[in-house]
Amino acid sequence: MSSSSPRFDRGHTDDLMTFLAESPTPYHAVANAGERLEKAGFRQLDETAAWDGTSGGKYVIRGGAIIAWYVPEGADPHTPFRIIGAHTDSPNLRVKPQPDMGAYGWRQVAVETYGGTLLNTWLDRDLGLSGRLTLRDGSHRLVNVDRPLLRVPQLAIHLDRQANEGLKLDRQRHMQPIWGLGDDVHEGDLIRFVAEEAEVTAGDVAGWDLMVHALEAPAYLGRDRELLAGPRMDNLLSVHAGVAALAAVSTAGELEFIPVLAAFDHEENGSESDTGAQGPLLGGVLERSVFARGGGYEDRARAFAGTVCLSSDTGHAVHPNYAERHDPTHHPRAGGGPILKVNVNQRYATDGSGRAVFAAACEKAGVPWQTFVSNNDMPCGTTIGPITAARHGIRTVDIGVAILSMHSARELCAADDPFLLANALVSFLK
């Protein structure tokens, strides 16, 4: 792909808005990713079945995670991988095992905070409910109540005169949403309601993974529509770009590497699950791909040694109202292209050789890029990057798109940055 003919433009951002709106949970996100890949000729594999070594696009879905890859015609067992890493989960409020509660004439839903949630952004906002139901036969049913159902009401300023001096929210007492009126709490009410929405019998529901989502649709902002506001950009923005890039290179002809998308769940709470980056899912899929093509341990070792992963997650643009919180010599700007994320304490996995790989991909794509480091006096966040590098011995580079309001119920980025990222990812995979 030359710099004069980028593959993606603002139409990619339009499609991102659709993807965000249709993916209120990790389970919906991977289902939608799978549908997009199916349209590009990929086929879903069953983890319990034997895999063959045929070429073409393949993917595996486990819970809220998806691993997809494309095997070029004639690929050797030791052919290295080029991996785009991302995560499907976002901080939010999730329904507890015994959800029915209430007091003083209000009916409420018991929720638990998930990840590093900006609690105040969930106040006084119309909320829906979504996730998956597990049925007694072991199957799953997605559900999305995408209409005003819940609300976490803020205390009136008359009863908290100091609210504007520093709002303090107790996760247990202050974040339980209201969904009706009544003095009696009836056990099973919420699940009966959700089962009806999913068109299943409540008695068939054996388990659930439900969460609250904000209803306001993604939207362009600003005089010139230069900004994009929406939910779950951290990190569905990267998942969407990775799906688009993988689908694009699957029709690009001869490939030097095997391109891979690895979108994990549970990054926001440490990645320690069978669908998280700490788990064996990625390594198992890559190894099975090697073995299915007739390779052995030596081929696996050679393939991993030549593999590079771009861990793509959102990062911080300089906030104009809090510029002192950022490093004084590194100023990532919205609209400036993807960011290379660096931390010498390995909160990010980038090193000099990884920087060279990323720079070359951006240069080939004609995409501008910039560098992010944390202010030395501020703790640095982390990603799946260091986990992937340490667990699999794979060279990993941390990148992403610079945004504001990270971990809010509604985040903000430049409208062009999503397609600039996608173009860089295509160049990297090729």
C-beta neighbour count of 169 within 10 angstroms? 16
Supply the pLDDT for residue 184.
87
Picking from 136, 131, 109, 129, the residue whose alpha carbon sits closest to that of residue 203 is 136
Picking from 267, 240, 245, 308, the residue whose alpha carbon sits closest to that of residue 80 is 308
- Please report, in angstroms and rounded to a whole number, the separation of the first and last CA atoms in the chain: 9
User: What is residue 366's DSSP assignment?
Assistant: T
Supply the pLDDT for residue 3.
41
Query: Is residue 2's pLDDT more than 60?
Result: no
Q: Please state which of the ranges 180-189, 275-284, 384-393, 407-416 shows the lowest mean pLDDT.
A: 180-189
Supply the pLDDT for residue 252.
81
User: Residue 98 class from Cβ within 10 Å (0-12 exposed, 13-18 middle, 19+ buried)?
Assistant: exposed
- When pLDDT is cut at 50, 70 and 90, the band that residue 6 belongs to is low
Strand partners, 130: 144, 211
Q: What is the DSSP string of 127-191?
A: EEEEEEEEETTS-EEEEEEEEEEEBBPPPPGGG-TTGGG-----TTTS-PPEEEE-S---TTHHH
216-244: buried (b, 16+ CB within 10 Å) or exposed (e) per residue? eebebeeeeeebbbbbbbbbbbbbbbbbb
Q: Please state which of the ranges 3-7, 89-93, 269-273, 376-380 shows the lowest mean pLDDT.
A: 3-7
Answer whether 150's CB lies under 8 Å from 177's CB.
Answer: yes
Supply the pLDDT for residue 334.
97
Q: What are phi and psi of 108, to 5 degrees?
A: -130, 170
Supply the pLDDT for residue 180.
96
Supply the pLDDT for residue 72.
96
pLDDT digits (tens, 9 = 90+) for 30-85: 999 999 999 999 999 999 999 999 999 999 999 999 999 999 999 999 999 999 99
Show the tokens assigned to 19: 């993807």
- When pLDDT is cut at 50, 70 and 90, the band that residue 4 belongs to is very low
Show the tokens assigned to 181: 């009126």
CA–chain centroid gap for 352, Å, is 26
Picking from 250, 310, 309, 249, the residue whose alpha carbon sits closest to that of residue 283 is 309
Show the tokens assigned to 70: 């494309």
| Mean confidence (pLDDT) of the chain | 96
Q: Which amino acid type is present at position 47?
A: E
pLDDT digits (tens, 9 = 90+) for 141-168: 999 999 999 999 999 999 999 999 999 9
Show the tokens assigned to 114: 């998930």
Query: What are the distances in angstroms from CA 306 to CA 81, 83, 160, 217, 259?
Result: 7, 11, 59, 42, 13
Orientation of helix 233-249 relative to helix 26-39, angle to 10° = 20
Supply the pLDDT for residue 104.
95
Answer whether 422's CB lies under 8 Å from 244's CB.
Answer: yes
pTM (two decimals): 0.96
Separation CA 53–CA 45 (nearest Å): 12
Strand partners, 133: 141, 208
Separation CA 146–CA 213 (nearest Å): 8
Picking from 266, 309, 231, 286, the residue whose alpha carbon sits closest to that of residue 64 is 266
Q: Please state which of the ranges 45-49, 119-123, 165-169, 251-255 shows the lowest mean pLDDT.
A: 251-255
Kindly list the strands in the beta sheet with 178-181, ordered across the sheet, starting from the edge strand earlier in the chain: 140-150, 127-135, 205-214, 92-103, 106-114, 178-181
Picking from 22, 7, 10, the residue whose alpha carbon sits closest to that of residue 230 is 22
Please compute the mean of the pLDDT values over residues 190-209 and round it to a whole number: 97
Supply the pLDDT for residue 272.
94
Query: Is residue 140's pLDDT more than 60?
Result: yes
Supply the pLDDT for residue 18.
98
Answer whether 387's CB lies under 8 Å from 313's CB.
Answer: no
User: Residue 156 class from Cβ within 10 Å (0-12 exposed, 13-18 middle, 19+ buried)?
Assistant: exposed
User: What is residue 23's DSSP assignment?
Assistant: -
Query: Is residue 1's pLDDT more than 60?
Result: no
pLDDT digits (tens, 9 = 90+) for 290-324: 999 999 999 999 999 999 999 999 999 999 999 99
Separation CA 226–CA 268 (nearest Å): 28
Q: What is the DSSP string of 258-302?
A: EEEEEEES-GGGTS-STTSTTSSHHHHHHHHHHHHTT--HHHHHH
Query: Is residue 27's pLDDT more than 70?
Result: yes
Number of residues written out for the chain: 430
Residue 341 has, within 13 A of its CA and on its CB side, a CA count of: 29
User: What is residue 233's DSSP assignment?
Assistant: H
Strand partners, 211: 94, 130
Answer whether 120's CB lies under 8 Å from 169's CB.
Answer: yes
- When pLDDT is cut at 50, 70 and 90, the band that residue 247 belongs to is very high
Please compute the mean of the pLDDT values over residues 251-265 and round it to a whole number: 93
